[in-house]
Amino acid sequence: MRKKITLLLSLCFFCALPTCVHAAQKIPHVLPEMEHADYWVTQLSEADRVILSLRQIETLNQKFLRAEPTAVDPLALEERVGTSFLLAALEKEEAALLQKKLYDHRGHLVRKPFLNNLKSLCALRNLPDLLPVRFGLIIEECSVRTFPTTEPVVEKRGDVAFDLLQQTTLSPGTPVALLWESQDGKWLYLASKLLRGWAKKESVAFFENKEALFKHLSFPKIVVTEREVPVFENRDGEPVTSWKMGTVLHTDLLLEDGDFFLIHRPERRPDGRVLLTHAFLRKKTVQTDFLPLTSRQILTQAFKLHGAPYGWGGLQGGWDCSSFLRDVFATMGVELPRNSGPQSRIGKILATFSKDAKKEGKQQALNQAIPATTFVKLDNHLMLYLGKRDNRQYVLHSTAGYRRKTLLREKGVKTFRVLVSDMELGRGSKRGSLFDRLVSVNLPFAPSY
């Protein structure tokens, strides 16, 4: 009896872990061939037409940056900034958290004293009138947090896989401005083109001044175009780290060595400054410039992440719906906004819908969707439109799961991966199908009117 109880408790413990692996569920109405890019590419009429040139993409990126209130180009900052640059952002984040019913990792309700304790970690009492700015790089993939702590805050007790203090992850080579240090000296408040927030100090290194960062960014680039690529200190050794799709690094050393590139990668000296060290990358895993923005490349890159793990804000090395799209388009030089909301508002909006919108209006909007270059939005979720087959419209997206109706009850299906589905996924459940929950449809690279 004691052995049975022990076994039962062990099974309960492992099932509760947020990092447990979910068996790949077969998605209804998805044929095996639909899970490959070629299936969709061969049905495009202009797969290789360049949608935007690099110059046009740079202009678009500047537009995205101006529209994102928490993002800033580090090179646009002066050597010192006012404290409001930090305080206003923290106050906004705190206010957003107070509007929700949240729990800490012990299952206790999050109240004002809890948030005050988090704010104390930011060492705000020691702020000078002007914050000195240091300019640097992310040297290893790192989480960016609302507050300088790894302690989670969640909407459902124990659901640490959806930690609301986790904002996103930044890739190696990302330029940042470093503004402030946490009370314990282990975190840095930084600003980037994607967002502002707290990152572990060990993941960041700084240059002597802004001019040094500017010079570094003028060096040739390496673009990671595979899901995840190993990085070697020597050709015959074991990988020392890995870089994910969409990582863009600049290097003053770029030599071909057989099947490898020899480059300089950034590391951190003991004093925190940038140290450039030798690294080898397999040629087939990277490019020396951005890929062309074409429908073929979009689908090719997107399907390289098919089956990749889901991860809220990049937790556990996974992709959520917005980071999936962001990393795919980063290989083509497009710097999409961080979250699904802003991503769904760029370009030309084909339609937006209320909860009681008629089916005919939604169907008309989807009929105007262009495969590979249309975003389809639900509440807090975004998907890439693939096309229509046998009167079903298909999308590619990173999702934690869906609900389906069985004979006796409704059941939650955990997927936790990037997958293909049709818009009828979830039909019959209380939440409704993806089609039922449609909020908007937009063409991100079409001009807005």
pLDDT in tens, 75-121: 999 999 999 999 998 898 888 888 899 999 999 999 889 989 999 99
**Pick from 230, 385, 222, 221: nearest CA to 295:** 385
- pLDDT score at 5: 39
What pLDDT was estimated at residue 66? 92
Is 213 among the domain residues?
A: no
Q: What distance, in Å, lies between the first and last C-alpha atoms of the chain? A: 71
Residue 59 included in any domain? no
Supply the pLDDT for residue 405. 87
Is residue 174 domain-shared with residue 268, that is, in the same domain? Answer: no
What confidence tens digit (pLDDT) does each residue in 346-392 have? Answer: 999 999 999 899 999 999 999 999 999 999 999 999 999 999 999 99
CB within 8 Å of 93: residues ≥ 6 apart? 146, 147
Tell me which residue range forms the domain holding 281.
Answer: 219-287
Q: Does residue 191 have a pLDDT over 70?
A: yes
Same-domain status, 149 and 246 = no
User: Which residues 6+ apart lie within 8 Å of 234 measured at CB?
Assistant: 280
Residue whose tokens read 């909007």: 365
Pair 76, 43 in one domain: no
pLDDT band at 408 (very low <50, low <70, confident <90, very high): confident
Beta bridge partners of 189: 180, 198
If asked whether residues 176 and 195 sit together in one domain, one would say: yes
pLDDT digits (tens, 9 = 90+) for 275-290: 999 999 999 999 999 9
Token pair of 126 as six digits: 């020691």
Domain boundary among 161, 189, 208: 208
Distance (Å, rounded) from C-alpha 5 to C-alpha 188? 46
In a domain, 84, yes or no: yes
Q: Average pLDDT for residues 228-235, to the nearest whole number?
A: 96
Q: Do 229 and 297 fall into the same domain?
A: no
For the residues of 24-65, what is the DSSP string, one character each? PPPPTT--GGGGSHHHHHTT-SSTT--SB-HHHHHHHHHHHH
Same domain, 314 and 423: yes
Q: What is the pLDDT of residue 35?
A: 98
Q: Any idea which residue has 């061939």 for tokens?
A: 33
Confirm if 118 and 149 have CB atoms less than 8 A apart.
Answer: yes
Closest CA to 172 of 268, 106, 88: 268
436 and 417 in a common domain: yes
What pLDDT is attached to residue 425? 98
Regarding whether 325 and 281 lie in a shared domain, the answer is no
Q: Is residue 41 part of a domain?
A: yes
Total tally of structural domains belonging to the chain: 3
* Nearest Cα to Cα of residue 145 among 175, 181, 169, 110: 169
- Among 265, 287, 309, where does a domain finish? 287
Distance of CA 199 to the CA centre of its chain: 15
Domain identity same for 281 and 300: no
Beta bridge partners of 175: 137
The answer on 326 and 349 residing in a single domain is yes
What is the biggest distance separating any 2 CA atoms in the chain, rounded to whole angstroms?
Answer: 71
**CA-CA distance, 145 to 159, in Å (whole number)?**
17
Residue 77 domain flag:
yes
Q: State how far the Cα of 250 lies from the Cα of 222, in Å rounded to an integer.
A: 6
Q: Are residues 251 and 373 in the same domain?
A: no
Distances in whole angstroms, Cα of residue 33 to Cα of each of 30, 37, 333, 395: 8, 9, 29, 14
**DSSP states of 280-348 as a string?**
EEEGGGEESSPPPB-HHHHHHHHHHTTTPBB-GGGGGG-B-HHHHHHHHHHTTT----SSHHHHTTSSE
Q: pTM for the complete prediction? A: 0.93
pLDDT of residue 23: 54
Domain end (from 175, 208, 241): 208
* Predicted local confidence at residue 4, as pLDDT: 43
Residue with tokens 């729990």: 103
Q: Read out DSSP for 136-205? A: EEE-S-EEEESSS-----BSSTT-GGG-TTEEEEE-TT-EEEEEEE-TTSSEEEEE-SS-EEEEEGGGEE
- 10 domain residue, yes or no: no
Q: Answer whether residue 244 is part of any domain.
A: yes
Helix or strand or coil: residue 130? strand
Angle (nearest 5°) at CA 332 between 310 and 365? 70
Q: Provide the residue type at 102 as one letter.
A: L
Quick: pLDDT tens for 288-307: 999 999 999 999 999 999 99
Q: What CATH number did the domain enclosing 373 receive?
A: 3.90.1720.10
Q: Is residue 60 part of a domain?
A: no
pLDDT tens figures, 142-182: 999 999 999 999 999 999 999 999 999 999 999 999 999 99
> Are residues 185 and 156 both part of a single domain?
yes
Mean pLDDT of the chain: 93
The tokens for 147 are: 């507050």
Q: Across the strands, what pairs with 435?
A: none
Flag whether pLDDT at 17 surpasses 80: no
